[in-house]
Amino acid sequence: MTPAARAEAAIGLLDAWLAGENRAEPLLRAWGRANRYAGSKDRRAVADIVYEGLRRRRSLGWMSGAAGGRGIVHGLALVEGWPLDEIFSGARYAPAPLAAAEREGRRDAPPDPVRFDHPDWLEGPLKASLGARYAPSMVALGARAPVDLRVNRLKCDRAGALAALAEDGVEAAPLDLADALRCAPGAPVARSRAYLDGLIELQDAASQEAAAFGAAAPGEWVLDFCAGGGGKTLAFAALMGGNGRVIAHDAAPGRMRDLPPRAKRAGATVELADRQLLEELKGACDLVFVDAPCSGAGTWRRDPETKWRLTPEGLEARISEQRAAFSAALDCMKPGGRIVYATCSIIGAETGDQARFLAAAHGLFLESEMTRLPGEGANGGADGFYAARLRRG
Ligand SMILES: C[S@@+](CC[C@H](N)C(=O)[O-])C[C@H]1O[C@@H](n2cnc3c(N)ncnc32)[C@H](O)[C@@H]1O
């Protein structure tokens, strides 16, 4: 496919997404099935345009002045300096030519929610939560995410993982965080031997930091109460060196379906908690980790669709779910134990304000907090994340 044909395909897919037809991933899969002539490079290039467009759809559309997918792709072409005449050539399979008035796009400054690509209603909560760090955080969330890896201590060290990745032609660099490596966006890690043999896991540096913040130690009983796919569960198992108990739980057990094969690949022993085991764990765990459901605001660059779908009611629902999960999890903390409340959010109502609410509501003492804003810190380029460690007063 020519670059123009890829742009035209992306315009169609963005229009379908804007019309609410489906999520981007199924739309892209269906497009791939219906256009067998498109090779893997074409499919990847079209997907890259679609996701780039979704991350920055308001600012790109504003820049162009045109509506819909065409405006988004035109804005992207302006930002990226693509040859406009070549892309908007009007040739077969290419977007229609730009009118003379359309070519240069708009030069007037957009309002902040447009400039920083989020729904209008989030301007207040984001600015109140982030203050002067609003603009840099939003810019970071508009950029493509790198691929962060966690070296699995149960199987190798960083040097071993780097060597194994290099054998598969995957370039990675160590981060300023014990087990973390970083590769360029789109690095083909999931096909590498290092990944398939469990030497590494895909996990953002901020998520790794949040897991380490729990300070899971060898010999402890650790309950990952909102385990989902088990990213943090496996990090706890590695930090504990296979010594102690790591138990995964989720209100939707189906979300943990990949955890047993992932644990096997990682050489980790993980128990899945059913209702009976949860009963037995009451008052027994050294560390209870609550990686609560949230808006996902800290990870919008990886999953830009969530920011456009988030509503005030949805945010309120997440806040209630966080409280319910925390309250249920707390029963499993042993006397003298600790509980961590964590979210991949940067909105105060889900982060620090929520942690203080939980501390007050349950008579707990907020021992320590960790706040990572997108693109900030020694590992700049990581997701936004928040964690608070609490104990009985
Ligand atoms: C942010 S995700 C967890 C991500 C996971 N810890 C990881 O690192 O990959 C939140 C999870 O919390 C679960 N959840 C929501 N409410 C819950 C509750 N009341 N009790 C336990 N799990 C809950 C959801 O099913 C979801 O899988």
The enclosing domain of 388 has a CATH number of: 3.40.50.150
- Note whether residue 75 is domain-resident: yes
The CA 26 to ligand 1 mean position distance, Å, reads 23
- Cross-strand partners of 341: 290, 388
Which residue's C-alpha comes closest to atom 6 of ligand 1?
227
Cβ–Cβ < 8 Å for 307, 86: no
321 touches ligand 1 (CB under 6 Å): yes
Instruction: Please tell me the number of Cα atoms within 13 Å of 156 on its side-chain side.
Output: 19
324 lines ligand 1 (CB under 6 A): yes
Q: Do 218 and 339 reside in the same domain of the chain?
A: yes
Distance CA 136, CA 373 (A): 9
ipTM confidence: 0.99
Residue 289 in domain: yes
Distance, CA of 249 to CA of 322 (rounded, Å):
15
Judge if 82 and 230 occupy the same domain.
no
Summarised one tens digit per residue, pLDDT across range 67-108 is 999 999 999 999 999 999 999 999 999 999 999 888 888 989
Domain end marker among 62, 86, 110: 110
The model's confidence at residue 376, banded by pLDDT at 50, 70 and 90, is confident
For 59-72, what is each residue's pLDDT tens digit?
Answer: 999 999 999 999 99
Q: How far apart, in whole angstroms, are the C-alpha atoms of residue 1 and residue 38? A: 7
> What's the CA dihedral at 385, 274, 149, 186 to 10 degrees?
-90
- Residue 250 annotated as part of some ligand binding site: yes
Residue having the nearest C-alpha atom to atom 1 of ligand 1: 293
Does 294 participate in catalysis according to the annotation?
A: no
Q: Is the CB of 65 under 6 A from ligand 1?
A: no
Cα 320 to middle of ligand 1, angstroms: 13
Q: Retrieve residue 31's tokens.
A: 């497009």
- Determine, yes or no, domain membership for 170: no
The pLDDT score that the predictor gives to residue 381 is 84
Whether 328 is in the pocket of ligand 1, judged by its Cβ within 6 Å, is yes
Q: Is the CB of 293 under 6 A from ligand 1?
A: yes
**Residue 48 labeled ligand binder:** no
> Is the pLDDT assigned to residue 393 strictly greater than 80?
no
Q: What angle do helix axes 40-55 and 24-34 make, rounded to 10 degrees?
A: 150
Give the number of the atom of ligand 1 that is nearest the alpha carbon of residue 227: 6
Is any ligand 1 atom within 6 A of the Cβ of residue 227?
A: yes
Output the CA 302–ligand 1 centroid distance in Å: 18
Distance of alpha carbon 123 from alpha carbon 113, whole angstroms: 6
**Looking at residue 102, what is its pLDDT?**
87
Render pLDDT for 196-209 as a digit per residue (tens, 0 to 9): 999 999 999 999 99
Tell me, yes or no, whether 71 and 211 share the same domain: no
Q: What is the pLDDT of residues 129-158, one digit of tens each?
A: 999 999 999 999 999 999 999 999 999 999
Half-sphere exposure of 163 (CA within 13 A, CB side): 5
Q: Does some domain include residue 126?
A: no
274 is in an annotated binding site: yes
Does residue 215 belong to any structural domain of this protein? yes
Percentage above 90 pLDDT, the chain: 94
Domain stop point among 53, 75, 110: 110
Indicate the pairing of strand 221-224 with strand 285-291.
parallel
How many angstroms separate the CA atoms of 179 and 148, rounded? Answer: 10
Count of structural domains within the chain: 2
* Residues present in the chain in total: 393
What are the helix (H) ranges across the chain? 3-18, 24-34, 40-55, 57-64, 68-80, 84-87, 100-103, 112-115, 123-130, 134-141, 158-167, 193-196, 205-213, 231-239, 259-266, 275-280, 305-309, 312-330, 352-362
What values do phi and psi take at 105, rounded to 5? 75, -170
Residues 6+ apart with CB under 8 A from 314: 295
Amino acid 367 reads: E
Q: Do 229 and 93 belong to one domain?
A: no
- Inside any domain, residue 165: no
Does residue 232 have its Cβ closer than 6 Å to ligand 1? yes
Average pLDDT, the chain: 96
Q: Of the candidates 91, 110, 129, which is a domain's last residue?
A: 110
Ligand 1 center–CA 252 separation, angstroms: 8
Residue 13 lies in a domain: yes
pTM summary value:
0.95
Looking at the structure, do residues 59 and 208 belong to the same domain, yes or no? no
- CA dist 358 and 336 (Å) reads 18
Q: In testing the pocket of ligand 1, which one of 250, 272, 318, 327 has its CB within 8 Å of the most ligand atoms? A: 250
Q: Which among 175, 215, 179 has a CA at the least distance from the CA of 200?
A: 179
Q: Which domain holds residue 368?
A: 203-392
Residue 194 lies in a domain: no
Q: Are residues 383 and 249 in the same domain?
A: yes
Backbone angles phi, psi at 130, to 5 degrees: -105, -20
Rounded CA gap, 70 and 80, in Å?
15
pLDDT at 378: 60
Please check the confidence at residue 377 and state whether its pLDDT lies above 70.
no
Residue listed under structure tokens 């790198």:
146
| pLDDT tens per residue across span 154-191 | 999 999 999 999 999 999 999 999 999 999 888 889 99
C-alpha 226 to ligand 1 mean position (Å): 3
